[in-house]
Amino acid sequence: MSKLQEEIDLRRTFAIVSHPDAGKTTLTEKLLLFGGAIQTAGAVKSNKIKKSATSDFMEIEKQRGISVATSVMGFGYQGLKINILDTPGHKDFAEDTYRTLTAADSVIVVIDVAKGVEAQTEKLVEVCKMRDTPIIVFINKLDRYGKDAFDLLDEVEQKLGINVHPLSWPIGQGDDFQGVYNIYEKGLNLFSSENKQHVSDVVSVNDIESSELDDIVGSDAAGTLREELELIETVYPEYTNEKYLEGKVSPVFFGSALNNFGVQELLDCFVRIAPKPQPKESDIREISPYDEKFSGFVFKIHANMDPKHRDRIAFVKIVSGKFSRNTNYLHVRNNKKLKFSNPTAFMASKKEVVEDSYAGDIVGLYDSGNFKIGDTLTEGEKFMFSGIPSFSPEQFKYIENADPLKTKQLNKGVDQLMDEGVAQLFTKVDNNRKIIGTVGQLQYEVIQYRLEHEYNAKCRYEPINLFKACWFTSENEEQLKDFKLRKLHNLAKDKDGRDVFLADSRYALDLAQEKYTDIEFHFTSEF
């Protein structure tokens, strides 16, 4: 086996997704804690503890206690190199999460035991299923009362449309929560509420029929556990690693991330079963991670990770081969050779310069404005990776300069934030007014906050009544000309100069589609 193949086989890159408040950021912290990457877990919400969660490094995230940007964190565990992508749970930032999922080889979905499967989780799992991404489910907050475990698994299967197989099983919940039986390892982990931050020693119970189990958890709980485990074997499809890797069955774990409970089992099982770096489709062929030559794509851009230095970083997922510092690589879209003197690896906002990175890794490249989301870098071959779309936005506002003396700063700020994919900018054809389109309301606050604090510029918004913005193309020059003439007040250009139709109602969009049959209306930017 070559050195390249050895290195690639050690990589595991996964994303953590969930609805807000299901405990995703807490789980990320605890995985880092068990992986030895951090010494203390930051309380995400507690104001008493001034330390914020490692993965929430933007000011606005620290203030609100929610994740609004995807963070990347790498750490070593049991000889493997693990890369975690912690995604925003809030629906207003779904687009950032969709794009991040293109960089993940597998996914852990976190579900709150009391709330069950929520709408945002359904949407994100849908994206994973489109790509057959392997999914592990972690049911969190077992130290609180919630839904019955079997009911919850039924809900997961119905709402998410995935087959599940529990690899651990809870003994009670809330005040009666005694621990988790690890079906995968045949061991019993006991929960002690007095000593919440430390998992008590794992008790190995090889034979669950033995009276030892009754002595440990009480005969009632032991009887219930035996019945439930028997039921699991008969009800759920057999678990095999092959089925998991094909995305056909999802293992389920139970625990309480806040209390460090069930996290170690999840991590230990994950490193055994999770997929190695996967091949990815390009516009000419499928690219294997073991291809000797380097290739990768930009799935995220973040401006001002360090406000003191005004830096802008492009996050690149390495798809194949080895990336080396100070080597010329081809930026395919610009057909330009670029060299990177200080590529970085991440531990949330902490960065370190790396000499070499391999397929499966995420590397940060300092960017002076060359990159856009979806850009491909190669060792010279010309191809583009596909499947990193921008979506048609659903909310719109005019953006106006609130301080005429800072026009330059505002333009620069808006320009850079749009490159990050935070939102989309449309310039109206008839009057040049600028419109910002987003997936959700919260993004407007984030843009305003970041313009002021990172670019020293102020903006205000004005309402505009729009239903949808969609790109349009046509081979029929005559229809296109007629459409553009009649719809002049509803036309705009996006940041790349492409034509956009701003429909003010569903009726207007339907009518345009009916009347102009040779014009194609596109609802994602990949066409």
Contact in structure between 329 and 297 (CB atoms under 8 Å): no
Arch. (CATH architecture) of 280-378: Beta Barrel (2.40)
Q: What is the pLDDT of residue 50?
A: 36
Integer Cα distance of 313 and 300 in angstroms? 8
How far is Cα 99 from Cα 331, in angstroms, rounded to an integer? 20
Sketch the domain layout of the chain as residue ranges.
10-76+86-273, 280-378, 395-522
CATH architecture assigned to 10-76+86-273: 3-Layer(aba) Sandwich (3.40)
Rg from Cα positions in the chain: 25
What does the pLDDT read at residue 388? 67
The C-alpha atoms of residue 252 and residue 335 are separated, in whole angstroms, by: 46
φ/ψ (deg, to 5) at 48? -65, -35
* 441 vs 94: CA distance, rounded Å: 12
Cα separation, 26 vs 255, whole angstroms: 12
For 475, the token pair is 């081979």
296-320 per-position pLDDT tens digit: 999 888 765 555 545 678 889 999 9
The amino acid at 269: C
Per-residue pLDDT, 390: 67
pLDDT of residue 211: 75
CA–CA–CA angle 426, 429, 432 (5° rounding): 70
CB neighbour list of residue 230: distance below 8 Å, 6 or more residues apart: none
CATH class of the domain whose range is 395-522: alpha beta
Model pTM score: 0.75
148-184 per-position pLDDT tens digit? 889 999 999 999 888 999 988 888 778 777 778 887 7
Which element (helix H / strand E) includes 331? strand 328-331
Tokens of 165: 């197989």
Cβ-in-10-Å burial (0-12, 13-18, 19+) of 58 comes to: buried
Ranges of residues in the chain whose predicted pLDDT is under 70: 1, 35-71, 88-96, 191-207, 303-311, 346-351, 387-391, 526-527
Determine the Cα–Cα distance for residues 38 and 368; give it in Å rounded to an integer.
Answer: 31
Direct distance between the N- and C-terminal alpha carbons of the chain, in angstroms, rounded to an integer = 40
Phi, psi angles (nearest 5°) of residue 166? -65, 135
Amino acid identity, residue 428? K
DSSP per-residue letters across 355-394: SEEETT-EEEEE-SS---TT-EEESS----B---PPBPPS
Site of tokens 């008590």:
200
